[in-house]
C-alpha cells in the first residue's frame, strides 16, 4: 500500500498536491553514538515492542544530518500527540538513518520515510495511528505525516517547503517545525519531481519491494539522511 498525501487526492489541487520556520543554519550538536547496525533491525522489526511505543517529551529537538546539509526539527507534542510519539520512537531507534528523500516536489514539500530495508518497511506498513486534530497550520518548515486516507499514518513524513495552508482542512496535522537549517531543506534534490506513475520520480511500491538498491541504481541524485537523533537538553 502506498502512503501518499491523501492517496493523490491532493495532487490536482496542490501540485499546480498528492501523497515547511527559521531559515538560519545551526551548528550541529554532538549526539550519542549511533546504534550498531545489527541491533537496530531487531528492534525495528517489532513495531509492538514497548520501547517503540513510549510517550514523547512535551517538546524535543531532532538533528538530521543529510547529504544536503544539517537541520533541526523541534517537536511540540501538544500540536499532535500521537504523531509526536510515533516520530520520537522512530527517531530514537534509528529508523530514518540511511533513508532517501524520495519524493521532493519544487515549491511544495520534501517527503521521506519508506525504509531502505524492505523487511523493515513491510513490518511497519500496517502500523496505523489515528489522526490527530489539526492544531497548527502547514506553514513553511513544518513537518507532518503523509497519509493514504483518514487514520492511515505510519512512518512517512514530509516537510513543507512553502506555506501549504490548503492542507489543513485535509487533516494533515503538523507536529513540529524546522527551527534551524531550513536552507538545507531547500537544497534537498527535487529534480526528479513527482513519483511514478504520475511523474518521473521513484515508485513507492518499488521502494518498498527493493529498498535502497533500487533508488541508488535508478535515482542516484536523491539526497539521503545520514543520521537523525534526539538531542539531549
pTM of the model: 0.83
Q: Put the strands of the sheet holding 225-231 in their side by side order.
A: 103-105, 109-112, 157-160, 142-145, 176-180, 69-76, 59-66, 225-231
The CA distances from residue 195 to 130, 141, 174, 207, in Å, are 26, 22, 23, 11
- Grid cell for residue 144: 507532518
- Delimit the domains of the chain by residue range: 5-25+54-231
Q: Is the pLDDT of residue 6 over 80?
A: no
Q: Which of 28-37, 95-104, 137-146, 188-197 has the lowest mean pLDDT?
A: 28-37
Burial 121-145 (b: 16+ CB within 10 A, else e): bebbbeebbebbebebebbbbbbbb
pLDDT bracket for residue 30 (50, 70, 90)? very low
Section 194-208 average pLDDT: 94
Question: Which of 138-147, 189-198, 224-233 is modeled with the greatest confidence?
Answer: 138-147
Q: Closest by alpha carbon to 195, among 211, 215, 176, 210?
A: 215
Task: Report the CATH number of the 5-25+54-231 domain.
Answer: 2.40.100.10
Confidence at residue 41, expressed as pLDDT on a 0 to 100 scale: 60
Q: Closest by alpha carbon to 202, among 114, 126, 124, 109?
A: 114
Average pLDDT, the chain: 87
pLDDT bracket for residue 5 (50, 70, 90)? very low
Which carries the bigger pLDDT value, residue 212 or residue 42?
212
Q: Are 173 and 80 in contact (CB under 8 A)?
A: yes
Section 118-125 average pLDDT: 96
Confidence at residue 100, expressed as pLDDT on a 0 to 100 scale: 98
- Cα separation of 90 and 35, whole Å? 13
- Grid cell for residue 131: 489522526
Exposed / middle / buried, residue 12 (Cβ in 10 Å: 0-12, 13-18, 19+): exposed
Check residue 166 and report its DSSP letter.
G
- The tens digit of pLDDT for each residue in 85-119 reads 999 999 999 999 999 999 999 999 999 999 999 99
- 45, 50, 51, 54: CA torsion to nearest 10: 130
Q: Closest by alpha carbon to 134, among 78, 188, 179?
A: 78
Three-class SS string for 100-121? Answer: ECCEEECCCEEEECCCCCHHHH
- The tens digit of pLDDT for each residue in 46-56 reads 999 999 999 99
Q: 154 in helix, strand or coil?
A: coil
Q: Closest by alpha carbon to 75, among 63, 134, 130, 41?
A: 63
- Cα separation of 105 and 32, whole Å? 33
Count the Cβ atoms, other than its own, within 10 Å of residue 149.
Answer: 15
Confidence at residue 233, expressed as pLDDT on a 0 to 100 scale: 61
Amino acid at each position: 500500500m502506498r502512503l501518499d498525501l491523501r492517496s493523490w487526492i491532493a495532487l490536482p489541487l496542490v501540485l499546480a498536491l498528492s501523497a515547511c520556520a527559521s531559515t538560519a543554519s545551526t551548528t550541529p550538536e554532538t549526539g550519542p553514538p549511533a546504534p550498531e547496525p545489527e541491533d537496530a533491525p531487531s528492534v525495528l522489526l517489532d513495531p509492538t515492542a514497548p520501547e517503540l511505543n513510549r510517550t514523547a517529551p512535551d517538546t524535543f529537538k531532532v538533528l538530521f544530518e543529510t547529504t544536503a546539509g544539517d537541520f533541526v526539527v523541534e517537536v511540540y507534542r501538544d500540536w499532535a500527540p500521537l504523531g509526536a510519539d510515533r516520530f520520537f520512537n522512530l527517531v530514537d531507534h534509528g529508523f530514518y538513518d540511511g533513508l532517501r528523500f524520495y519524493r521532493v516536489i519544487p515549491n511544495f514539500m520534501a517527503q521521506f520515510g519508506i525504509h531502505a530495508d524492505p523487511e523493515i518497511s513491510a513490518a511497519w506498513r500496517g502500523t496505523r495511528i489515528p489522526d490527530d486534530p489539526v492544531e497548527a497550520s502547514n506553514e513553511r518548515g513544518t513537518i507532518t505525516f503523509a497519509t493514504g486516507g483518514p487514520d492511515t499514518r505510519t512512518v512517512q513524513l514530509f516537510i513543507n517547503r512553502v506555506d501549504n495552508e490548503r492542507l489543513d482542512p485535509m487533516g494533515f496535522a503538523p507536529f513540529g517545525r524546522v527551527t534551524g537549517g531550513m536552507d538545507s531543506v531547500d537544497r534537498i534534490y527535487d529534480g526528479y519531481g513527482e513519483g511514478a506513475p504520475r511523474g518521473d520520480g521513484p515508485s513507492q511500491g518499488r521502494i518498498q519491494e527493493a529498498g535502497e538498491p533500487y533508488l541508488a541504481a535508478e535515482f542516484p541524485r536523491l539526497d539521503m539522511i545520514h543520521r537523525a537523533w534526539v538531542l539531549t537538553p
